[in-house]
C-alpha cells in the first residue's frame, strides 16, 4: 500500500481529496476503454474463423490458434515487407539525423549571411503536409527514374523529415554557450571538426529522442509509400497490411494476426523507450 499512502492528496494538503479518487476511478475506466481495441484484436487473432463467426465476440479464445500468425506471415508476404521496412528505416533514420544535425549546426553556429532566411525556410517545412501533394512528389521521383526503388522512397522521406529535425537541433545548438565553439576556433579547428568532436557528442540525448520518434514515423508511413512503391516486391509493412485487408478481409483471425505483426515492432520500441518519445515530441513544440 505504499503506492497509495501518499496519493490523492493535493499539493500542500495532508488530507485525502475525494474528488481526486473519483477522478482516478474515471481515468482507470477510460483507460480500459482505450485498451479494448487491442484486447479485441489479440483475441480475434487467436481464434479460428469458425469460432469468430460462431461464438460471442468478447469471449477469450479457448483453443489458441497460433497458426493464424504463420499463415498471415506467409500470405501477407511479411518476409518481403518487413525486410523492405528494415532497409528503408535503417538507412533513412540515421542518415536524415546526421545531415539535419550538420545543417542545424551551420545555421546555429556558423555566421552566414543567409542564416535567418534559411532557418525560416526550414521552419516553413515543418508545417508542410506532404499528404496534400502526393502526385507532384510522385512526378519528381519519377523524373529521377526512382519509382519502386529504395532511394526513391528514402529521398522524399528525408526531405519531409529534415525540417523538423533541423528545427529541434537548431534550438538545442543555439543554447550551447558560444565559448565552447569559439575556444576551439581560436585553436584553429575547422567547423567540421567542431561539429564532429564537440557538438555531435553533446547532442546525443536529443539525437536519440529524434531517432526513436523518426523510427516509428518511418516504419508506419503509408501515403508516400503508396504512390512511390507500387511494385509488391518493394512494399513496406503498412502497404502489405492494406493489401491483406482488401484481399482477405473475411479471414478474421489471420487479418488480426497481420495487424498485430505490423504494429508490434513500433509498440515494442515505444514501450522500451517511452521517455524519449516525450522528450523528442516536447523539446520542439513546447519550449520555454
Partner 1 sequence: MPQASQSARPERQGYVLLAPALIVYLLFAVYPMIDVVRMSFSSWNGLSPGANFVGLANYRAIFTQDPVFWGALRNTIWWTALAVTLPNLVSFGLALALNQNIPGKSGLRVVFYLPVIIASIAVATIWKWMYDPFFGLFNNLLMQFGLDGWILDWLGDRKVALWSVFVAHLWQSVGFSMVLFLAGLQGVSATLVEAARIDGAGRWGVFRYVTLPALKPTLMVVFVLSLINSLKAFDIVYGMTGGGPAQSTQMLAMWAYTQSMQLGVFGRGAAVSVVLLLITLVIVLPYIRWMFRREEMSR
Contacts (CB under 8 A) with partner 1, residues 108-167: 110-113, 118-125, 127-141, 155-156, 158-160, 162-163, 166
- Of the pair 30, 90, the CB lying nearest partner 1 is at 30
Euclidean distance between CA atoms 132 and 109, whole angstroms: 34
Closest by alpha carbon to 281, among 193, 222, 210, 215? 210
Measure the CA dihedral 246/252/255/256, to 10°: 140
- Of the pair 69, 219, the CB lying nearest partner 1 is at 219
Euclidean distance between CA atoms 238 and 150, whole angstroms: 16
Q: Which of 88, 103, 198, 257 binds partner 1 (CB under 8 A)?
A: 103
Residues 6 or more apart in contact with residue 177 via CB below 8 angstroms: none
C-beta of 30: minimal distance to partner 1 in Å?
A: 8
C-beta of 87: minimal distance to partner 1 in Å?
A: 17
- Of the pair 79, 190, the CB lying nearest partner 1 is at 190
Measure the CA dihedral 210/212/218/223, to 10°: -80
Dig out the grid coordinates for 125 from the structure.
517545412
Find the part of the chain contacting partner 1 (CB under 8 A) among 66-74, 86-94, 200-208, 241-249. Answer: 241-249
Q: Which of 15, 18, 37, 188 binds partner 1 (CB under 8 A)?
A: 37
C-beta of 238: minimal distance to partner 1 in Å?
A: 4
- Give the Å distances, CA to CA, from 32 to 1, 38, 59, 122: 22, 10, 16, 41
Q: Does 238 bind partner 1 (CB under 8 A)?
A: yes
Residues 6 or more apart in contact with residue 24 via CB below 8 angstroms: 8
State which of positions 246-265 bind partner 1 (CB under 8 A). Answer: 252, 255-256, 258-259, 262-263
- Of the pair 87, 176, the CB lying nearest partner 1 is at 176
Q: What angle do CA 267, 80, 234 make, to 5 degrees?
A: 105
Euclidean distance between CA atoms 187 and 183, whole angstroms: 6
State which of positions 16-35 bind partner 1 (CB under 8 A). Answer: 19-20, 23-24, 26-28, 30-31, 34-35
C-beta of 239: minimal distance to partner 1 in Å?
A: 8
- Total residues contacting partner 1 by CB under 8 A comes to 113
Q: Does 288 bind partner 1 (CB under 8 A)?
A: yes
Amino acid at each position: 500500500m505504499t503506492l497509495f499512502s501518499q496519493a490523492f492528496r493535493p499539493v500542500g494538503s495532508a488530507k485525502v481529496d475525494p474528488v481526486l479518487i473519483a477522478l482516478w476511478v474515471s481515468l482507470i475506466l477510460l483507460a480500459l476503454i482505450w485498451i479494448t481495441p487491442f484486447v479485441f484484436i489479440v483475441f480475434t487473432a487467436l481464434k479460428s474463423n469458425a469460432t469468430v463467426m460462431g461464438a460471442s465476440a468478447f469471449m477469450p479464445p479457448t483453443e489458441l490458434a497460433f497458426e493464424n500468425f504463420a499463415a498471415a506471415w506467409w500470405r501477407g508476404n511479411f518476409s518481403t515487407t518487413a525486410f523492405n521496412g528494415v532497409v528503408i528505416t535503417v538507412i533513412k533514420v540515421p542518415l536524415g539525423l546526421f545531415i539535419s544535425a550538420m545543417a542545424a549546426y551551420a545555421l546555429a553556429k556558423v555566421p552566414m549571411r543567409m542564416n535567418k532566411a534559411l532557418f525560416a525556410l526550414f521552419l516553413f517545412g515543418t508545417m508542410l503536409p506532404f499528404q496534400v501533394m502526393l502526385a507532384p512528389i510522385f512526378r519528381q521521383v519519377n523524373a529521377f527514374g526512382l519509382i519502386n526503388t529504395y532511394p526513391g522512397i528514402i529521398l522524399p522521406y528525408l526531405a519531409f523529415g529534415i525540417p523538423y529535425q533541423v528545427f529541434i537541433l537548431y534550438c538545442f545548438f543555439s543554447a550551447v554557450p558560444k565559448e565552447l565553439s569559439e575556444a576551439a576556433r581560436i585553436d584553429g579547428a575547422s567547423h567540421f571538426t567542431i561539429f564532429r568532436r564537440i557538438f555531435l557528442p553533446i547532442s546525443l540525448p536529443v539525437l536519440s529522442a529524434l531517432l526513436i520518434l523518426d523510427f516509428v514515423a518511418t516504419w508506419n508511413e503509408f501515403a508516400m509509400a503508396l504512390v512511390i512503391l507500387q511494385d509488391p516486391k518493394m512494399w513496406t509493412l503498412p502497404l502489405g497490411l492494406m493489401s491483406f485487408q482488401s484481399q482477405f478481409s473475411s479471414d478474421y483471425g489471420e487479418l488480426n494476426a497481420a495487424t498485430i505483426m505490423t504494429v508490434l515492432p513500433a509498440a515494442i520500441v515505444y514501450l522500451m523507450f517511452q521517455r524519449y518519445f516525450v522528450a523528442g515530441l516536447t523539446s520542439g513544440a513546447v519550449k520555454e
